[in-house]
Amino acid sequence: MAEIGVSLILVAALVSFAMAFFVMKRATRLGLLAHPNERSSHKVPTPSGGGAGIVAGGTVASLLLVLLIPGIGVPVVFAGLLMAILGYWDDRKPIPPQWRLGAQVLLTGSMLAVLPMDGLATALGLFLPEWALMVGTTLIGVLFINLFNFMDGIDGLAGSEAVTVLLGMTLLAWAGHPDAALHPLFWWMLGVAAATVGFLFLNWPPARLFMGDVGSTWLGLMLGFFAFASISGGWLSAPQWLIMTALFWADSLVTLIRRLLRGEAVWQAHRRHAYQKLARRWNSHRRVTLLAIAINVLVLLPLGYVAAVLPDLGWALAVLVLLALSALCAWAGAGAPLDPEEQAA
């Protein structure tokens, strides 16, 4: 298992880089050139859609799961590919929000339908009717897909989040349940991380290529699936996943809530997340991305381990982490109106 898994990881990274490079060189012909506007954080036209590389490499990395557990692997891979196609068309020409959201609900629900709801209910301690649990997990999954997409706004940030979260969660799974390394899902998680690294060679600040919705929505879907599948399998807990992804939850939710309170159309693109405000304040995408990596690795990963060692405190710790990061994001200006200097930037 390990030898095949490592081979798939390496192939996933190479395939991702090759596909992303192909998209970068042909972005104009593909209709994937992102032009600066009042809502963007870049100043020159830049190729987008590079997340297609992550999708290609990540799909290659699913081979073990598809071959060994086709009843789970095939439907999930198929749902992911349809999500990527939806994202690709949205990158080329924006799809009406209601159609995009409806498709995301259908794809997320069909993906989660392959998981045993009874195992998930036991792991979460929520003994609800199966239909209620399915609806709840689907809505959470769709929310995370969109929040992850919202956070793909500066060079390297979304890709670095995916890599650190996936590597962190596989490390926590292996530390708590070494047998997890025998499951093909474990290697798929590592393969998606490797595919994202392949893309990051072109997306690291200053980026030569953007991820686009084709990659961000696919990653959001996959991270949601990995979370629910590993929770259902008993390797990881919901508090651990919430802790490791807390930075994205905090920034996106604080921004979303403040915009809702102002009566704004929250589905419209903007540049008022905390990470965007910090990037303008520091005049650096790299510093913000490195800060996010440091928070994930030096703060959230150890706290995720504490949540495993002291499971009775897991939810309390997750809520405290989310509140603390939310306060920091609010202090940084998440969701606040742009001041005159920011509008001119």
Q: Tell me: the pLDDT tens digits for 185-231?
A: 999 999 999 999 999 999 999 999 999 999 999 999 999 999 999 99
Give residue for tokens 């999954």. Answer: 141
Q: Can you name the residues that pair with 46 across neighbouring β-strands?
A: 34
**Predicted pLDDT at 127:** 78
| Residue 102's pLDDT band (cuts 50, 70, 90) | very high
CA separation, residue 35 to residues 39, 41, 43, 310, 323 (Å): 11, 10, 8, 49, 36
* 154 SS3 class: coil
**Cβ(203)–Cβ(209) below 8 Å:** yes
Helix, strand, coil % over all residues of the chain, rounded to 5:
75, 0, 20
Q: How far apart are CA 226 and CA 238, in angstroms?
A: 11
**CA separation, residue 197 to residues 12, 15, 161, 269, 326 (Å):** 10, 11, 11, 26, 28
**pLDDT confidence of 73, banded at 50, 70, 90?**
very high
Say if residues 327 and 243 touch (Cβ distance below 8 Å). Answer: no
> Buried (b) or exposed (e) across 231-258, using 16+ Cβ within 10 A?
bbbebbbbbbbbbbbbbbbbbbbbbbeb
C-alpha to C-alpha distance for 255 and 273, rounded to whole angstroms: 6
Domain boundaries, the chain: 2-344
Predicted structure pTM score: 0.94
- pLDDT (average), residues 79-95: 92
Quick one: pLDDT at residue 269?
A: 72
